[in-house]
């Protein structure tokens, strides 16, 4: 089985952390670099959270971590800390060891010298046709990299983006998904780039659910530092979801973007021409796919492959099996 070399651009964020754990537990992918972007939390908090997660998974070798955009291209940043917690990881500072110390001490932060877009450009141009860039936060870093070095970015093997909502309702407004809504200008620039892009929208991510009962069972029967982290990072979120929806369950949005690279057969892709609404009105961040049944020559050619179906049960089973694997 060939190993896919990936860069992960992320705004952790609880589901981002679960996605990173899945990536490090999966032999099908090699995490070559991690870049951070403002989104769920500030970029400084996102960068700290990546370093904390790397301490938890204790990955060797440790991939370079580059800090990215502190705000969207043109708009102010609006975080999602109400959902992900003040620290972006379910308020891990609440958890103590038996000795009364923090279960998750401040991480070692050894960052790459260059900013995120520069690291993305460098790694892609150094390995033409080999790197898959997986974006699981707002697309600010990716848009900046494309604007800075379009010819170099054209050497990317594929870009996989968690974001958008095609037929599904939005999750931050009735029509917009958070990553697109946070930086619609960046998303519009990326979608118009002509690069090979696979979109993993809410239409499929909302079908892959993680539940509190699954996590509780894992902690009881498997144990270990990673499953304990998953429990601690999701515990507050499950309470919020229980109050909000009556069910202690949360979608594995970002992990499914990793899943689409680990095993492309998990999702069914369909080519669409997709635009992003950049106006400031109620449709801000809406992703509009041309799904009309008409002759191809009568409409814009597709610019994205959009995942519209998912083998949800098989993906959740893969996710649970992987997070229980002993750390290498
Ligand atoms: O809409 C879900 C996306 O927004 C995920 O990437 C989540 O982490 C948030 O960033
Ligand atoms: Ca995210």
**Residue 76: predicted pLDDT:** 96
Indicate if the pLDDT at residue 328 is higher than 60: no
Ligand 1 lined by 11 (C-beta under 6 Å): yes
Instruction: Name which residue leads in pLDDT, 326 or 116.
Output: 116
Q: Dump pLDDT digits (tens) for 262-293.
A: 999 999 999 999 999 999 899 999 999 999 98
Indicate if the pLDDT at residue 181 is higher than 80: yes
**Residue 162: predicted pLDDT:** 99
Ligand 2 center from residue 133 Cα (angstroms): 14
Ligand 1 lined by 199 (C-beta under 6 Å): no
- What are the backbone dihedrals phi and psi of residue 114, each rounded to the nearest 5 degrees, phi first? -95, 155
Read off the pLDDT of each residue in 287-316 and give the average, rounded to a whole number: 94
**Residue 145: predicted pLDDT:** 98
How many Å apart are CA 297 and CA 154, to the nearest integer?
A: 25
Q: Dump pLDDT digits (tens) for 193-202.
A: 999 999 999 9
Closest ligand 1 atom number to CA of residue 162: 6
Q: Read out DSSP for 10-54?
A: E---HHHHHHHHHHHT-TTEEEEEEEE-SSSS-HHHHHHHHHHHH
Ligand 1 lined by 179 (C-beta under 6 Å): yes
Ligand 2 center from residue 11 Cα (angstroms): 5
Indicate if the pLDDT at residue 296 is higher than 80: no
Indicate if the pLDDT at residue 223 is higher than 90: no
Ligand 1 lined by 177 (C-beta under 6 Å): yes
If residue 116 lies in a helix (H) or strand (E), which one and from where to where? helix 116-126
Ligand 1 lined by 253 (C-beta under 6 Å): yes
Q: Dump pLDDT digits (tens) for 56-97.
A: 998 888 999 999 999 999 999 999 999 999 999 999 999 999
| Confidence (pTM) | 0.97
CB 11 within 8 A of CB 38: yes
Read off the pLDDT of each residue in 245-254 and give the average, rounded to a whole number: 96
Closest ligand 1 atom number to CA of residue 15: 8
Sequence spans of domains, the chain: 4-323
Band of residue 102 on the pLDDT scale cut at 50, 70, 90: very high
How many Å apart are CA 311 and CA 207, to the nearest integer?
A: 9
Instruction: Name which residue leads in pLDDT, 1 or 272.
Output: 272
Closest ligand 1 atom number to CA of residue 138: 10
Q: Which CATH architecture has domain 4-323?
A: Alpha-Beta Complex (3.90)
Give the 3-state secondary structure of residue 307: strand
* Strands (DSSP E) found in 70-201: 131-135, 158-162, 197-200
Closest ligand 1 atom number to CA of residue 14: 8
Ligand 1 center from residue 164 Cα (angstroms): 10
Ligand 1 lined by 251 (C-beta under 6 Å): no
Q: Above pLDDT 70, what percent of the chain?
A: 99
Read off the pLDDT of each residue in 122-126 and give the average, rounded to a whole number: 98
- Which residues make Cβ contacts (< 8 Å) with residue 270, sequence separation at least 6? 305, 306, 308
**Residue 2: predicted pLDDT:** 78
Lowest mean pLDDT among 99-103, 119-123, 214-218, 311-315: 214-218
- Which residues make Cβ contacts (< 8 Å) with residue 160, sequence separation at least 6? 132, 133, 134, 135, 197, 198, 200, 257, 260, 261
- The residue whose CA has the least distance to atom 1 of ligand 1 is 178
181 is catalytic: no
- Which residues make Cβ contacts (< 8 Å) with residue 271, sequence separation at least 6? 302, 304, 305, 306
Ligand 1 lined by 67 (C-beta under 6 Å): no
Radius of gyration of the chain (CA): 19
CB 104 within 8 A of CB 49: no
Residue-averaged pLDDT of the chain: 96
Pocket test for ligand 1, best of 39, 174, 210, 256 (most atoms within 8 A of CB): 39
Distances (CA, A) of 7 to 3, 40, 315: 13, 19, 21
Read off the pLDDT of each residue in 209-221 and give the average, rounded to a whole number: 90
């Amino acid at each position: 089985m060939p190993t896919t070399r990936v860069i992960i651009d992320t705004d952790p964020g609880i589901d981002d952390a679960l996605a990173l754990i899945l990536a490090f537990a999966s032999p099908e992918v090699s995490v070559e670099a991690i870049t951070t972007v403002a989104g769920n939390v500030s970029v400084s908090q996102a960068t700290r959270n990546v370093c904390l997660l790397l301490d938890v998974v204790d990955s060797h070798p440790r991939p370079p971590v580059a800090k990215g955009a502190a705000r969207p291209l043109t708009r102010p940043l609006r975080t999602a800390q109400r959902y992900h917690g003040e620290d972006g990881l379910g308020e891990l500072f609440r958890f103590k060891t038996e000795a009364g110390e923090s279960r998750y001490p401040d991480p070692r932060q050894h960052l790459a010298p260059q900013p995120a877009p520069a690291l993305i450009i460098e790694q892609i141009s150094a390995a033409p046709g080999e790197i898959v860039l997986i974006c699981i936060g707002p697309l600010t870093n990716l848009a900046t990299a494309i604007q800075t070095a379009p010819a170099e970015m054209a050497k990317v093997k594929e870009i996989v983006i968690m974001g958008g909502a095609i037929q599904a309702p939005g999750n931050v407004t009735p029509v917009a998904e958070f990553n697109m809504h946070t930086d619609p200008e960046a998303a519009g620039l990326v979608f118009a780039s002509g690069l090979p892009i696979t979109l993993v929208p809410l239409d499929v991510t909302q079908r892959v659910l993680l539940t509190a009962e699954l996590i509780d069972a894992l902690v009881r029967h498997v144990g270990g530092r990673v499953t304990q982290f998953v429990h601690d990072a999701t515990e507050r979120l499950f309470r919020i979801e229980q109050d909000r929806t009556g069910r202690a369950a949360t979608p594995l949005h970002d992990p499914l973007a990793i899943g689409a690279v680990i095993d492309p057969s998990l999702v069914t892709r369909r080519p669409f021409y997709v635009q992003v609404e950049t106006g400031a009105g109620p449709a801000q961040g809406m992703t509009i796919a041309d799904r009309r049944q008409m002759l191809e020559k009568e409409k814009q050619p597709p610019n994205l492959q959009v995942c519209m179906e998912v083998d949800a049960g098989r993906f959740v089973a893969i996710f649970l099996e992987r997070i229980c694997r002993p750390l290498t």
